[in-house]
Amino acid sequence: MGPGGISPWSLLLILVIVLLLFGTKKLRNVGSDLGGALKGFKGAMSEGEKEAKEAKDSLERDEADDKAEPSSAQREQVDEKDKTKSGS
């Protein structure tokens, strides 16, 4: 018995029936179309992973820059807070 209780002879019989119904040319076209779709899917997945990695790296650089040195707007806000605290 094969996988799922189907014998190799049953699988061979199913293959012959499929070949008779569709013909080899149609099956070859279906196979090449399926292969092209899988290749496109893999390419899109690798592009998505690459973009996600670049976005993560960019975000990490931005966070490191924010921690390293405050921007002029942030310094002005701190200066204003200090003035209001010392003035009151």
Residue 27: count of CB within 10 angstroms of its CB? 14
Eight-state DSSP code of residue 69? S
DSSP-based three-state secondary structure for 71: coil
Predicted local distance difference test score (pLDDT) of residue 79 = 76
Per domain, the residue ranges of the chain are 27-87
Return the half-sphere exposure (C-beta side, CA atoms, 13 A cut-off) of residue 17. 6
Dump pLDDT digits (tens) for 8-55: 899 899 989 988 888 888 888 988 999 999 999 999 999 999 999 998
Residue 83 has pLDDT above 80, yes or no: no
Dump pLDDT digits (tens) for 15-25: 899 888 888 88
Instruction: Kindly report the pTM of this predicted structure.
Output: 0.45
